[in-house]
Amino acid sequence: MVLSTTAHQEDTAMLKTETPARDHATLDQYPTTELVNVFVDDQVKAVEAVRAAAPRIAAAITAALPRIEAGGRLIYVGAGTSGRLGVLDSVELNPTFSWPHGRAVALLAGGESAMFVAVEGAEDDHDQGAADLASVKVDAGDVVLLLAASGFTPYVLGALRAARSAGALTIGFSNNADAPVANEAEIGVVLDTGSEIISGSTRLKAGTSQKIALNTFSSGLMVRLNKVYGNLMVDFRATNAKLVRRAIRLTAFASGADEAAAKAVLEQCGYHVKTAIVALIKQTSVEQAQALLEASRGSVRDAIA
């Protein structure tokens, strides 16, 4: 079922994200410096909206953790700006935390080409959202993140309802209260950013708030999955010269060894930072360090305790 544009407009007509901002009615007449300041200052409201939603984001991490620990996937679903932000978050998990590509799936209304060229009508297709979700064989072990600034996007709602039918955990992100994306998800995260300076352009602070919320959710989840030691990024792949240097610096910093010793151990373990840190601190072999990490479910802190 493709929801008509008219019906979609009727659903969203009175939403805060669609309401003109009365305090900037002469925006087109602002001097350029003032124009820039207004845009920048308005972004502060994105941070405030995410801070207000922090308890819901924490609840989402807690609910997602058991499924992800058991081997489930993170599946992002969205359209337009929201969908592209979901793609971005999913793609960055592998280089940052060595998260397997197959366990971070992003579905974007209009398909992969919509990442680069807007496919505006695709968001109105409820059935395609359900079909796209079914195509990745979602099941009860998965965590599905539904992203829609309005909270009414038919494509996202189709995927949401299909995810619930499959038993997956659903987490809905919306920039409007009392919208179905948040209300129908098991955990709804409302990012109340209000009206936009350019009326209806949710690529502004609504988009910023979604980016912050997704970063916070996925990074918090990765911390709980032992991808971080202290506040150090210790579970990444050293796939280029910059990352090799980073691996050496972090290993030396975390273990207290000099960089030469850190590099020597890293070379023995294929530049796996966790293994090198444990081997250096425990003064043991790479093989024993790997065994300690496996026994501690990947936690550097527990492995060296």
Q: How confident is the model over 45-56, as pLDDT tens digits?
A: 999 999 999 999
The angle, 0 to 180 degrees and rounded to 10, between the axes of the packed helices 259-268 and 273-282 is 120
Confidence tier at 2 by pLDDT (50, 70, 90): very low
Average confidence score pLDDT of the chain:
93
Compute the distance between CA of residue 301 and CA of residue 305 in angstroms, rounded to an integer: 6
Confidence tier at 106 by pLDDT (50, 70, 90): very high
Whether the pTM exceeds 0.85: the reply is yes
The DSSP bridge pattern shows strands 169-174 and 143-148 to be: parallel
Compute the distance between CA of residue 49 and CA of residue 193 in angstroms, rounded to an integer: 6
Compute the distance between CA of residue 158 and CA of residue 39 in angstroms, rounded to an integer: 34
Find out whether 193 and 175 touch, Cβ atoms under 8 Å.
yes
Domains in the chain (CATH in brackets) are 5-224 (3.40.50.10490), 230-304 (1.10.8.1080)
C-alpha dist (Å) from residue 174 to 21, 35, 138, 189, 295: 19, 27, 22, 6, 40
Q: How confident is the model over 142-196, as pLDDT tens digits?
A: 999 999 999 999 999 999 999 999 999 999 999 999 999 999 999 999 999 999 9
Q: How confident is the model over 220-259, as pLDDT tens digits?
A: 999 999 999 999 999 988 889 999 999 999 999 999 999 9
**Mean pLDDT over residues 9-29, rounded?**
77
Find out whether 259 and 282 touch, Cβ atoms under 8 Å.
no
**Active site includes 92?**
yes
Active-site option among 10, 18, 69, 92: 92
C-alpha dist (Å) from residue 257 to 51, 161, 265, 288: 38, 53, 10, 18
DSSP-assigned letters across all residues of 255-266? H---HHHHHHHH
Query: Which one is predicted more confidently, 4 or 296?
Result: 296
**Active site includes 184?**
no
Confidence tier at 22 by pLDDT (50, 70, 90): confident
**Mean pLDDT over residues 58-71, rounded?**
98
